[in-house]
Amino acid sequence: MPDATFTFRVEEDLKVAFGEAAKAQDQTSAQLLRSFMRDYVKRQRDQADYDSWFRRQVQAGLDSAKSGDLIAGEEVEAKFARRRAETHRKLGR
């Protein structure tokens, strides 16, 4: 893919400070900006992927509940009480 030019305005003192910070990392301002842009795009994609996964999980839970596939609260409490007791036993508490 051919490179494109990205032009924007920024205060001169910020431009100078950014250039110095980039140079301290043995990078040019452009290299550092490209890196920041890639990281930002990746974070946004990862967040969108997580959001999509989370919505599917919630919908699966709602569908399961609507179909009557539920576990009684008392049963869940008893199961985790047994797990806690087993963990405490293993830890010698």
Q: What is the pLDDT of residue 76?
A: 95
Q: Give tens-digit pLDDT for 3-23.
A: 899 899 999 999 999 999 999
Neighbouring residues of 10: CB distance < 8 A, sequence distance ≥ 6: 18
Q: Give tens-digit pLDDT for 23-76.
A: 999 999 999 999 999 999 999 999 999 999 999 999 999 999 999 989 999 999
Q: Say if residue 93's pLDDT is above 90.
A: no
Q: What is the dihedral of CA 81, 84, 90, 93, to 10 degrees?
A: -100
Q: What is the pLDDT of residue 64?
A: 94
User: Tokens 């959001």 identify what position?
Assistant: 51
Task: State the pTM of this model.
Answer: 0.66
Q: Say if residue 2's pLDDT is above 90.
A: no
Measured CA to CA, the distance from residue 75 to residue 83 in angstroms comes to 13
